[in-house]
Chains A and B, each alone.
Chain A
């Protein structure tokens, strides 16, 4: 009996330990509770205070000591005596704060999320693999590793990260690893490539080829040009230099557009939301108070935590640079040094094409190209799945690129057997651009640095202490024939392929324009005399005009003025549309709520400020109106592209009888006037419902509810709601989930002064006070003054000092 008791007690103990030492999934995943709750090594150990310990650590492979001072924002100021040491330290330091995010983002890029969260991510993962994300990163890695500078930079960075990973025990792991019960793997140079390709995916992967092909078969060409124009001709292009393009452009023989007959019923790939965009500008010293140029940049991206950016100050005998870096890639991406500053916005350009492939048979091993059958390349992909068996997939590559859909993957779609031609698949060496920009002294250095940049195409604004300002729309762009790339292409004919690329020196660029400033906000890039055909999924129509108008009017500009411009919440779109909307309304028979909304809107000042109720009513109205107008597109069995906001408003004002204004599911024949009225009723209803649910008045910040979500599907415990004005189409482009992911203002005085802020904090750890320490400042439009001195001793408010010593001196 005693033995049974002992045995039973022993078995219960063992079972308890076993059960609490592993993760479970009962609908939602449960971490290994014993490990996770143990205060000596579990999640409790991830809780941090504001204090950071000064310490000395050894790193193997260092040539000399590296000193890292953390300032009060936890920004590392890294002082190294050799470049190799500098990048190793950057890798180490970045991993200390952002390891989980770095790995998660590269796993996402490579299609490996199923490994972490299970089969739910399989479709996403397979799409990533079939898009050729790893293929793209490998192509870039080959070029990177062929260049001694790029190779050293990336390898040292990787080594730094890996030494950090090697130093970790369970208790030190970032919280997310403990929650999801997995461990970091070693970093590789490939992962740096993946990270940059992930940016290309966010910024440069948009296309509407399918949608436009379908439109072409449903509507006549005149209607298409009216509703989906290539260039809306609104505002100034980024570079307005009529007649100034004095070079011999590459010309190609024109080929007739060959279009497949069938309509394509597949749902297109998920698109970047149209509010992913950015602002940058530089004003010349002639317009500023201090007579020195000022450069500003605010890239708009998904608002996520841990933050997309990590601010660093890198100093070695060859460089002294500060700014925003991407965790997972060496160097500074948007920043300044003691001579120059630069900032990026996305260049809108069609860099994606779909080729319809004719395969010889179901094996997909051969496909037609002109008169021959070419061999395809078949790549076997193994996908590891958490809590399940591995899944295998085979991706077929043609010389155009990978085939996204075939009988193995969404084979019932009619888009089956289309190959993706995407610029990001091409070898590229962006990392060298940043190496050189970080060390740039003048405009010539900036120009040379940009020659190495292919993708994702960006508008690079520039300013220097010797007074130059410049803009260059840099990327690798195929030479397009008119309308080429707008529609699906015939993959059997080599004449439809990309034949040549625009030479770097023929890209759109400008230095010291007479208007005294350069600016970009994702609008149409160039005046009509530029000799190459340009199109994109869409161009920005409002922010750019607001920015340019204010920059034109301003003089004696101070950095504070520039901060206010970045924070500007004036709704130009409302100014241009609301009077017409109100005018269209039949106010007879309004309910009390409608009457009140009408009056609020009439007296609204077009500011999407935090407290504005007019903004809430306007935006609710617009959000109801847009899908009502384009119900034909929403309900279409085939994929069609939504026209832009600008064109929609233009049509409402100028073409109210257009066939699209008629709502398909009503017997009456509507014009813009009736649709506007119906949308008003719906918009007011939406606000009234919201008021009841939320039990508050519809202040814009509450109604919009800007949300900074943790990378794990916005896990509420690690995410924040902030009170913030602005919206898409407004200079302060903060919508619900997107917005300025980094705000920087640099005054190119001697010495350079700079300010910045981002919606998050330097630490990626939800248990650290530095996880969200900049959030309130960001929300309030405030900026931190960056400390930027080549002299380590000059740093004020020092939080801690980390000394990295060579392991074997």
Chain B
């Protein structure tokens, strides 16, 4: 349950921050959520990863559906990996490590 809350909180805070601020502020969000919830290390990493990945891929899917993949297909030809996969990995990794850092910091204090 706490894990689920962690994921959902990461998505929500990330959404708010990302709507106004640069991309890396989602890391600040993921960090803060993990620190406040105080889950253990590995679950925090996975929750942070899933939270940001969900947020990013969800938003990307939304745009892609709205625009009939007009740009996704073109960008896929430029990137070494599928744009969704790459978006998932990049967002997820940063979210995961930020979340892990927050959880570890909480664990220490």
Which residues of A pack against B, CB within 8 Å?
2-3, 5-6, 9-10, 12-13, 16-17, 20-21, 33-35, 37-49, 170, 175, 179, 715-718, 766-769
**Contacts A5-B104, A10-B101; is A44 near B94 (CB within 8 Å)?**
no
Residue contact A47 to B101, C-beta cutoff 8 Å:
no
Residue contact A2 to B108, C-beta cutoff 8 Å:
yes
CB-CB nearest 9 A-B residue pairs: A767-B71, A38-B23, A39-B59, A47-B67, A717-B77, A47-B71, A40-B18, A13-B97, A39-B60
Contacting residues, chain A, for B18 (C-beta < 8 A) = 38, 40-41
Residue on A with the closest CB to B100? A9
Residue contact B63 to A13, C-beta cutoff 8 Å:
no
B75 at the interface (CB under 8 A from A): yes
Give complex CA distance A44, B63 in Å: 7
Give complex CA distance A44, B97 in Å: 24
* Interface-central residue, B66, B90, B107, by most chain A CB under 10 Å: B90
Residue contact B23 to A41, C-beta cutoff 8 Å:
yes
Residue contact A2 to B104, C-beta cutoff 8 Å:
yes
Instruction: Give residues 34-91 of B contacting A (CB, 8 Å).
Output: 41, 56, 59-60, 62-64, 66-68, 70-72, 74-75, 77-78, 83, 86-87, 90-91
Contacting residues, chain A, for B70 (C-beta < 8 A) = 47-48, 767-769
Contacting residues, chain A, for B22 (C-beta < 8 A) = 35, 41, 170
Contacting residues, chain A, for B24 (C-beta < 8 A) = 17, 20-21, 34
Nearest-neighbour CB distance to chain A for B83, whole angstroms, equals 7
* Interface-central residue, A9, A16, A717, by most chain B CB under 10 Å: A9
Q: What 0/1 pattern do residues 1 to 35 of B give for CB contact below 8 A with A?
A: 00000000000000000110011100100010000
Residue contact B59 to A17, C-beta cutoff 8 Å:
no
- Besides the contacts A20-B90, A44-B60, A767-B71, what 18 more A-B pairs have beta carbons closer than 8 Å? A6-B104, A6-B105, A9-B97, A9-B101, A10-B101, A12-B97, A13-B100, A16-B97, A35-B22, A39-B62, A39-B63, A41-B18, A44-B59, A44-B63, A44-B64, A44-B87, A47-B66, A175-B71
Give complex CA distance A399, B100 in Å: 69
Give complex CA distance A40, B64 in Å: 13
Contacting residues, chain A, for B91 (C-beta < 8 A) = 37-38
**Contacts A34-B94, A43-B71, A46-B71; is A13 near B104 (CB within 8 Å)?**
no
Neighbour of A13 across the interface among B67, B83, B101, CB < 8 A = B101
Contacting residues, chain A, for B67 (C-beta < 8 A) = 47-49, 767
Contacting residues, chain A, for B71 (C-beta < 8 A) = 43-44, 46-47, 175, 766-767
Nearest-neighbour CB distance to chain B for A28, whole angstroms, equals 10
Give complex CA distance A460, B100 in Å: 70
Residue contact A16 to B94, C-beta cutoff 8 Å:
yes
Give complex CA distance A766, B56 in Å: 22
The contact sample of 12 A-B pairs, CB cut-off 8 A, is A5-B41, A6-B108, A17-B24, A34-B90, A38-B87, A41-B18, A44-B63, A44-B71, A47-B66, A48-B70, A766-B71, A767-B67
Residue on B with the closest CB to A9? B101
Residue contact A13 to B98, C-beta cutoff 8 Å:
yes
- Which label, helix, strand, loop or mixed, suits the secondary structure of the B interface? helix
Give complex CA distance A5, B100 in Å: 10
Contacting residues, chain B, for A37 (C-beta < 8 A) = 56, 83, 86-87, 90-91
Nearest-neighbour CB distance to chain A for B52, whole angstroms, equals 10
Neighbour of A40 across the interface among B59, B74, B77, B94, CB < 8 A = B59
Residue on B with the closest CB to A34? B23
Nearest-neighbour CB distance to chain A for B60, whole angstroms, equals 4
Give complex CA distance A40, B56 in Å: 8
Contacting residues, chain B, for A34 (C-beta < 8 A) = 23-24, 90, 94
Contacting residues, chain A, for B83 (C-beta < 8 A) = 37, 43
Residue on B with the closest CB to A769? B70
Contacting residues, chain A, for B101 (C-beta < 8 A) = 6, 9-10, 13
Nearest-neighbour CB distance to chain B for A2, whole angstroms, equals 5
Residue contact A767 to B23, C-beta cutoff 8 Å:
no
Give complex CA distance A35, B19 in Å: 13
Give complex CA distance A46, B64 in Å: 11
Residue on B with the closest CB to A48? B67
Residue on B with the closest CB to A33? B90
Give complex CA distance A21, B24 in Å: 8
Residue contact B74 to A766, C-beta cutoff 8 Å:
yes
Residue contact A716 to B97, C-beta cutoff 8 Å:
no
Neighbour of A716 across the interface among B23, B77, B90, CB < 8 A = B77
Residue contact A47 to B72, C-beta cutoff 8 Å:
yes
Residue contact B23 to A35, C-beta cutoff 8 Å:
yes
Nearest-neighbour CB distance to chain A for B45, whole angstroms, equals 9
Contacting residues, chain A, for B59 (C-beta < 8 A) = 39-40, 44
Nearest-neighbour CB distance to chain A for B47, whole angstroms, equals 14
Nearest-neighbour CB distance to chain A for B90, whole angstroms, equals 5
Contacting residues, chain B, for A716 (C-beta < 8 A) = 77
